[in-house]
Structure 1
């Protein structure tokens, strides 16, 4: 009895990949015969891998993201740019460079009466203002501890 209700077929994704690659084996999107599967097209030979490995350099995040950000905030700003802005502030905060973070955030947000960041959404502005307040607070504590130790 096949009612159709709860007639769900569960399968393993490897089986689907193999059957779909077997069905499509030798054909590209134009229907022409290529004679290779997806794994053949995406695999690197050992020599190619070694050549790529020699040129690879990991990206080092050392508290300098904020120097790469251009502060010409226009009418609209793309989401990746907003993410980079937040990462820059978070990185300065993480490395305890509070004074630099405050100066950077002042350049981005402006003063209390300015609204340089009108192109940013409210959530981003709220988060940046939060970081600015925390950095001002931490900067004051850091400066107080330095003067107390002298």
Structure 2
């Protein structure tokens, strides 16, 4: 069992008793899906020997919004990928917008690196979600809070 697989197995044992809506099937032994304490849906999936894909749901029911910002979304992802930052992903079948990020496993720095990556992504999703509730695109500055856009903050 690789270090990353061991991490997922230990995390699964912890989450089974502590997190809400934890799921995993026999065919997904390298993946965990759960809802954190803020109600944010999170997925962790081993996609290569030393690479973990983290997905954090931003919101659901966004088809109209996505169609309006699809070009901005594509341009944002190009910049975010070049900067090795989380990218946006839209799942058309259930109309959910996600942040996705690949994290490389290194046994020496894993705990801190994983925790900070996941915490940052959940925070980013929360900021975007709140902005969208107020009608602010993730790609525009928010005059109300005078925050920079997500894209300006993260790239």
Q: Which has the higher strand share?
A: 2
Pick the TM interval, shorter chain: under 0.3
Q: TM-score, normalised by structure 1?
A: 0.25
Q: Which has the larger radius of gyration?
A: 1
TM-score by length of 2: 0.25
